[in-house]
Structure 1
Amino acid sequence: MISSRLTSKSLWRKLSKQFYSTVSLPDIDTIYYCDSKNATEIKENIDLRKGVGDINRVLDIYNSLLKLPDGDEGYRRLREDLYMELNKLPNRTHPAVQNYKDQPHLVHEINAKRNFGTCTPLQFSEITDRLNLMRTDKLGNTCGNKSYYYIAELAELEEALIKYTVSALLSKNFQLVSVPDILSSNVLKSCGMTINSDRTQIYSLDPVHHGPDLYLSGTAEMSLAGLLMNSLHTKEQLPLKLAAVSRCYRAETSNVVEERGTYRVHQFTKVEMFAVTTPEQSDDMLEYLRRTQEELFAPLNIHMRVLDMPPHELGAPAYRKYDIEAWMPGRNNYGEISSCSNCTDYQSRRLHIKYAQDDGTKYVHTLNGTACAIPRMLIALLETHQDPKGKIFIPEVLQPFMNGKEFITKNNKVPKLKLLKIKK
């Protein structure tokens, strides 16, 4: 029988290990979440983040569990129920962010908005149509709505952005990793993603033809986190900085006017940063990732604003998150081009990523940040650097990755594609 009068930390830890001795289950901090003294603080955090989770139900199950012998069938069922409820709770929130209410805090702006004078800047879709650089309609024979073909020099610009970004990250001692795009549910859920629900953004593969429990990755963050699953690091190895180029698959759709065109698509290429630190290093690492993003984007000469996001924008895993929004003149609006997040030990407890120190092992902190998301970056670049005479100026830092080209002109080599109706 487990005593209902457990109070010391050592006994709490013993009980926690008893709950989560199976590797597939997350080692959630029961010392914190199952202590009734923290219930009010946890409930306020859930409310601030407008998330799911019921701390009162967690405590009810936990207290019932304490009264049962661990070999009892009811004990095993309650233990699974407790795991399910604990897993719904969001990460804690950085104290500074708790005061932002529903509005982000403006950190600073980068570069001035371009003055177009009397000219009205065109939207990305208008520019690419006039220059024959992209195809987004009549894709029924390939990949359908919210998809695209980049053609000629626009495809070159995509590759230039990737090479420019990877080159800069390698110079900062990031380790480049080639990652898989198909993952299991365990990795996705451990990273904080929701699957198999009405609101999921994750594509699932047909279990009949492709095997059970296979999903398309929405970002390389999940693949990089999965690479480190069940790993133990030395303190001297941290911080660990990884980077990956991958295709990202999103089932999301949007009818919002500001998100029309290729602003929100079903698949795109992205360069991702992922960092692993000690708990003491993670706040500084988040600032480092943000500065890295700013250093990558500023030479592209697009106007941006950096935002410290409020609690309801953090999702379940993030402790703190910065977004960078670029001004898109043709749309006459800002659009998010990147974010970076400190997930503290939310993911590492679920994936069992630890580091060794003198008094045992501790969970690492994980962080992630977008180094370059291609479609939205292309929108910002083409709309900012368009010329009324019908060409696009290429930022100087990208020119070496485009064989020295200084501007993009109309594509006359690849004809506009037409679908022909074939009579039966």
Structure 2
Amino acid sequence: MLNGNLLKTINITKNFKLWSSTIPWKIPEYPELNEEYLCNPCNSNAIEKNINNRKGVGDIKLLHELKNKLEKINGQSHEYESIRSQYYKELNQIPNDTHPNIYTNGDKPKVIKVVNNKKLFPFKCEEFGEIAKKLNLVRTEQLGNVSGNRSYYILGELAELEQALINYFVENLINSGYELISVPDILPRYIIERCGMNTRGERNQVYTLDSKIHPPDMCLSGTSEMALAGFLAGDILSEDDLPKKLAAVSRCYRAETSSTAEERGIYRVHEFTKVEMFMVTTPEMSDNALEEIRKWEEEQFKSLDLHFQVLDMPPHELGAQAYRKYDIEAWMPGRKVYGEISSCSNCTDYQSRRLNIKYKTKEGETRFVHTLNGTACAIPRLLISLIENEQNEKGLIHIPKVLHRYMQDKTFIGKQKGVPELRLVKNKKK
């Protein structure tokens, strides 16, 4: 149960105007990227190799050509602003560096740890969808009249379990020194893009609001990491205040689809609830901070009696922003697969340079911070793993002991009574 102190939250009202597409003065139009390194011809081969390994975008040769043009023009031509804009666009597309240890792992994830043993079942395991249908816990079918494909309703005691997980993880985060913040789900496009997510083109995962109805360039947030980073945009923190640990509970929106059997049901959906961790550190602290986040995540999932593996992800799984990334995959015995339930990343100064987040050292020098993020609890994948692992031969679901007090001391979930059964509703043509 969360007491009053644990439920205190802070509304985001600083540094960026939510309903304006104008970039605030604290966030420069042209961010202070590491031009000294990126524009040094001696580093071209290493940068190009990094781009190729990450399967990312970016053209280091074009960047150098534009840099040379700018130096020759030197602001004396009408072409200067056009070339300058193109130069910064190319500069911004170069992905973050990659941790050198990752290259020794090859192009596949490396399993660095396995926690708990797989549970042995004296009966045939059922998958989440079959269990949920029998116990009337989830509705995913015939929702076209309500919310469309890849949508769902979580019902009865499973909805209680969802809330219990959120409360459990939030309480543990606060006890670990994280500050809970309530964040907006609608963000300006530039915040999302400067965090490293693409918002344009056919293959992006971001929902953009209709500019005919809403203010221009507003999007639905895919993770509260972006709102938390935007919260600090333009700030100069004190070194004494680092590391700064923030957490948020939010709805996440993803315009993604999948037709694979492993990702059926509620495994991959257009919106879900997530508890997110966000940390700001000095450059010297970020490697250790990532290990701290990973170990914290491992402890929480271990306490839920889950069997899972921890993966060190290869370069092509890092996106544009991550320097290093760990994934946690839990065993789902009904599906007989491991499924990702969490991840954590060190983004070094990729986001802080683009959002102008700095700190002042004890000697008075101003430097860019490093940012890190981690998934504390992602619903509904965590529900899938828990339900499949905690099923018994009587068709009931055992509730992990650490969650009992968050569910009024209930120990099992059974068939839901008083919850409407699924019925097919047909629209009559007018």
Report TM bin, short chain: over 0.9
Aligned pair in 2 of structure 1 residues 422, 256: CA closer, same or farther (>3 Å)? closer
1:24 corresponds to: 29
Query: SS of 2:136's equivalent?
Result: coil
Q: Distance in 1 between matches of 2:287 and 2:230?
A: 22
1:107 corresponds to: 112
1:82 aligns with 2:94: no
Q: Distance in 2 between matches of 1:305 and 1:380?
A: 13
TM-score, normalization: structure 1? Answer: 0.93
Q: Distance in 2 between matches of 1:139 and 1:21?
A: 44
Is contact 1:24–1:186 with CA below 8 Å preserved after alignment?
no
Query: SS of 1:327's equivalent?
Result: strand
Q: CA deviation at 1:21?
A: 10
Is contact 2:26–2:233 with CA below 8 Å preserved after alignment?
no
Moved over 3 A (4+): 419-424
Q: CA deviation at 1:420?
A: 3.5
Query: SS of 2:52's equivalent?
Result: helix
Query: SS of 2:288's equivalent?
Result: helix
Query: SS of 1:166's equivalent?
Result: helix
Bigger mean CA offset, 76-85 vs 335-344: 76-85
Unaligned runs of 5+ in 2: 1-24
2:403 corresponds to: 398
Deviations 1:142-165 (A, max 9, x none): 111111000000000000000000
Unaligned runs of 5+ in 1: 1-19
The AA in structure 1 aligned to 2:103 is Q
2:220 corresponds to: 216
Is contact 1:48–1:98 with CA below 8 Å preserved after alignment?
no
Q: Distance in 1 between matches of 2:202 and 2:359?
A: 37
Q: Distance in 2 between matches of 1:58 and 1:422?
A: 56
Deviations 1:308-366 (A, max 9, x none): 11111111000000000000000000000000000000000000000012252100000
Identity %: 54
Residue pairs, 1:230-309, within 5 angstroms: 230-309=234-313
The AA in structure 2 aligned to 1:248 is C
Deviations 1:212-260 (A, max 9, x none): 1110000000010010011110100100000000000000001111111
Bigger mean CA offset, 46-55 vs 149-158: 46-55
Is contact 1:293–1:371 with CA below 8 Å preserved after alignment?
yes
Aligned residues: 404
Q: Distance in 1 between matches of 2:328 and 2:426?
A: 45
Is contact 2:98–2:324 with CA below 8 Å preserved after alignment?
yes
Is contact 2:254–2:271 with CA below 8 Å preserved after alignment?
yes
Is contact 2:26–2:234 with CA below 8 Å preserved after alignment?
no
1:5 corresponds to: none
1:377 corresponds to: 382
- C-alpha RMSD of matched pairs (Å): 1.3
TM-score, normalization: structure 2? Answer: 0.92
Q: Distance in 2 between matches of 1:232 and 1:137?
A: 49
Residue pairs, 1:348-387, within 5 angstroms: 348-357=352-361, 358-387=363-392
1:413 corresponds to: 418
Q: CA deviation at 1:421?
A: 3.5
Q: CA deviation at 1:388?
A: 1.8
Is contact 2:32–2:353 with CA below 8 Å preserved after alignment?
yes
Q: Distance in 2 between matches of 1:206 and 1:47?
A: 35
